[in-house]
């Protein structure tokens, strides 16, 4: 062990992992971005230890990659060979549930599912939810400003964090463990660490918002003939359900029929085929009253021509069948090898021309290309799967889709962040002035470029 690692070991209570002791788990996230074995893995068990580690790293100019549950999809937590991996896995646990304030105070390495279950045990819900819930950590969720399944009603992670504690690159601890919704006393410093993917500081603790558990849930699958009617339907149910609309998942026919025609056990409840399908849900406080409101609203939508057909779920089993169609994307990997998956956003008013432009470009540049589209359109979020079956076309698909996102004032990252994967495309969604301000913030908080260097903002990765 070299001198630096000996000093590092003296500052933390748990053994450093080096050489063969660094298991596969610390070597990459869920992306297929370049990764390697880090210099060592350090696993602090307290904020003080994180601070001591960063003081030492800043004295020695040691670069650090921060690791949560490593379910990230953009390569942000992937170590480079000379980096120190700082894993938050031992900084885990719930410190407090404040019933009156409806808040939960947690350590950054706490898995999301543990937080959800602890909230449920007290009759609350922590509404952040995503497929990686069992493995991802709240620190990772905060750093990537995770979205997931309930953004329409509760917002992204940013909306669910009231207070936060973070350690800067020089070891300074910034503790803003606020529990109040209103607090305009100066800058809202926690925002520096939400969605900045560990480039400005290491999140160590957070105060989260809890909500009362919903007592009712109504679901329907609605068939629609044209995209403008999808928007009308969205406006109608938003108005009719008065804040209780909890899902509005739109599936274009290319996606819907691909799933219902190809994936075993997934069937469409409609006899006829339609251009668009919407999974609509309401969550409220009274099943009988809400069901009546839900069915009346959809009945009106049918009468007014916003919907061509609709099937209301009469049981949990039926609801699950609808969601299986929406979540069927997880099952298509074996059919669509060498596909490119995009999670982008564009203003709703641009969605139709945006998709038409991509289709045109794909047809012109990549013969035989197909695309499948679905999305949480109320969040402006579209998921696009493009494929030709040829691996060599993937780069071309990235250029076409991200380039078109830029033309339509969209975002190359609706969720998941930039990491290293989208570094080359960030300029499609951010102006030179915005990028320069990001660099200024980075320079001010981490002048030695120690934290997650080369992620989000360009920086020479070969130097690491």
Ligand X SMILES: Cc1cc2nc3c(=O)[nH]c(=O)nc-3n(C[C@H](O)[C@H](O)[C@H](O)COP(=O)(O)OP(=O)(O)OC[C@H]3O[C@@H](n4cnc5c(N)ncnc54)[C@H](O)[C@@H]3O)c2cc1C
Contacts of 274 (CB under 8 A, 6+ apart): 223, 224, 225, 253, 308, 309
221 φ, ψ to 5°?
-110, 125
Q: Which is nearer to ligand X, 205 or 319 (CB)?
A: 205
Of 61, 131, 333, 347, which lies in the binding site for ligand X, with binding defined by CB under 6 A?
131
Of 38, 140, 163, 410, which lies in the binding site for ligand X, with binding defined by CB under 6 A?
140
Q: Which is nearer to ligand X, 111 or 284 (CB)?
A: 111
Of 47, 67, 103, 268, which lies in the binding site for ligand X, with binding defined by CB under 6 A?
67
Q: How far is the CB of 418 from ligand X (least distance, A)?
A: 9
CA neighbor of 141 nearest in space, from 119, 159, 118: 159
Q: Decide if residue 34 touches ligand X (CB under 6 A).
A: no
Q: Decide if residue 332 touches ligand X (CB under 6 A).
A: no
Q: Decide if residue 141 touches ligand X (CB under 6 A).
A: yes
Q: Decide if residue 139 touches ligand X (CB under 6 A).
A: yes
Q: Which is nearer to ligand X, 284 or 417 (CB)?
A: 417
Q: Which of residues 201-240 bind ligand X (CB under 6 A)?
A: 202-203
Determine the residue with CB nearest ligand X: 140
Q: How far is the CB of 459 from ligand X (least distance, A)?
A: 14
Q: How far is the CB of 126 from ligand X (least distance, A)?
A: 14
Contact stretch for ligand X (CB under 6 A) within 94-102, 194-202, 271-279, 378-386: 194-202
Distances (CA, A) of 389 to 53, 289, 331, 368, 450: 47, 49, 17, 9, 40
Q: Which is nearer to ligand X, 63 or 416 (CB)?
A: 416
Q: What's the CA gap between 155 and 366, in Å, rounded?
A: 37
The H or E element that residue 208 is part of is strand 202-209
Q: Three-state DSSP class for 157? A: helix
337 φ, ψ to 5°?
-65, 155
Q: Decide if residue 455 touches ligand X (CB under 6 A).
A: yes
Q: How far is the CB of 284 from ligand X (least distance, A)?
A: 24
Q: Decide if residue 195 touches ligand X (CB under 6 A).
A: no
Contacts of 385 (CB under 8 A, 6+ apart): 255, 329, 332, 336, 339, 340, 341, 342, 371, 372, 373
Q: Decide if residue 270 touches ligand X (CB under 6 A).
A: no
Q: Decide if residue 72 touches ligand X (CB under 6 A).
A: yes
Distances (CA, A) of 343 to 380, 381, 398: 11, 7, 12
Q: How far is CA 187 from the centre of its chain?
A: 25
Q: How far is the CB of 137 from ligand X (least distance, A)?
A: 4
Contacts of 60 (CB under 8 A, 6+ apart): 4
CA neighbor of 223 nearest in space, from 283, 281, 290, 302: 302
Q: What's the CA gap between 51 and 48, in Å, rounded?
A: 5
Q: Decide if residue 54 touches ligand X (CB under 6 A).
A: no
Of 38, 198, 396, 410, which lies in the binding site for ligand X, with binding defined by CB under 6 A?
198
Of 41, 73, 372, 420, which lies in the binding site for ligand X, with binding defined by CB under 6 A?
73
Binding positions for ligand X, rule: CB under 6 A = 29-30, 65-73, 76-77, 88, 108, 130-132, 136-137, 139-141, 143-144, 146-148, 197-198, 202-203, 415-416, 419, 452, 455
């Amino acid at each position: 062990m070299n001198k630096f690692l000996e000093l590092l070991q003296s500052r933390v209570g748990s053994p450093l992992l080096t050489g063969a002791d660094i298991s596969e788990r610390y070597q990459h996230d869920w992306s297929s971005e370049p990764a390697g074995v880090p210099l060592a893995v350090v696993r602090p068990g307290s904020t003080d230890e994180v601070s001591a580690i960063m003081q030492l790293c800043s004295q020695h100019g040691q670069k650090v990659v921060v690791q949560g549950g490593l379910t990230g999809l953009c390569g942000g937590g992937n170590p480079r060979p000379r980096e120190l991996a700082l894993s938050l896995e031992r900084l885990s646990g719930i410190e407090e549930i404040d019933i009156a304030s409806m808040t939960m105070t947690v350590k950054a390495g706490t898995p999301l599912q543990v937080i959800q279950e602890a909230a449920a045990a007290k009759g609350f819900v922590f509404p952040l939810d995503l497929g990686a819930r069992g493995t991802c950590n709240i620190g990772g969720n905060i750093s990537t400003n995770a979205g997931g399944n309930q953004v329409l009603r509760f917002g992204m992670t940013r909306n669910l964090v009231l207070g936060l504690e973070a350690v800067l690159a020089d070891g300074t601890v910034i503790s803003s463990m606020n529990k109040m919704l209103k607090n305009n006393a100066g800058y809202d410093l926690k925002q520096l660490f939400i969605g900045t993917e560990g480039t400005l500081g290491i999140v160590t603790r957070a105060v989260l918002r809890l909500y009362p558990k919903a007592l009712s849930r109504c679901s329907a699958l609605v068939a629609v003939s044209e995209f403008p009617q999808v928007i009308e339907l969205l406006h109608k149910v938003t108005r009719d359900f008065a804040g209780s609309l909890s899902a509005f998942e739109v599936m274009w026919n290319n996606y819907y029929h691909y799933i219902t025609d190809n994936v075993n056990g997934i069937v469409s409840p409609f006899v006829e085929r339609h251009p668009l399908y919407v999974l609509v849900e309401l969550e409220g406080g009274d099943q009988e009253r809400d069901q009546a409101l839900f069915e009346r609203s959809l009945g009106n939508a049918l009468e007014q021509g916003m919907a061509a057909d609709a099937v209301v779920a009469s049981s949990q089993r039926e609801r699950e069948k609808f969601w299986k169609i929406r979540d069927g994307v997880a099952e298509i990997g074996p059919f669509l090898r060498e596909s490119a998956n995009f999670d982008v956003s564009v203003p709703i008013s641009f969605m139709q021309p945006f998709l038409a432009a991509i289709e045109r470009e794909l047809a012109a540049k990549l013969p035989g290309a197909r695309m499948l589209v679905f999305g949480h359109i109320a969040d402006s979020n579209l998921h696009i799967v493009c494929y030709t079956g040829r691996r060599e076309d993937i780069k071309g698909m990235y250029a076409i889709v991200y380039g078109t996102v830029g033309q339509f004032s969209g975002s190359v990252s609706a969720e998941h962040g930039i990491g290293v994967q989208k570094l080359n495309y960030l300029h499609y969604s951010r102006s030179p002035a915005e990028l320069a301000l990001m660099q200024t913030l980075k320079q001010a908080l981490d002048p030695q470029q120690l934290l997650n260097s080369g992620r989000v903002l360009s920086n020479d990765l070969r130097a690491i």
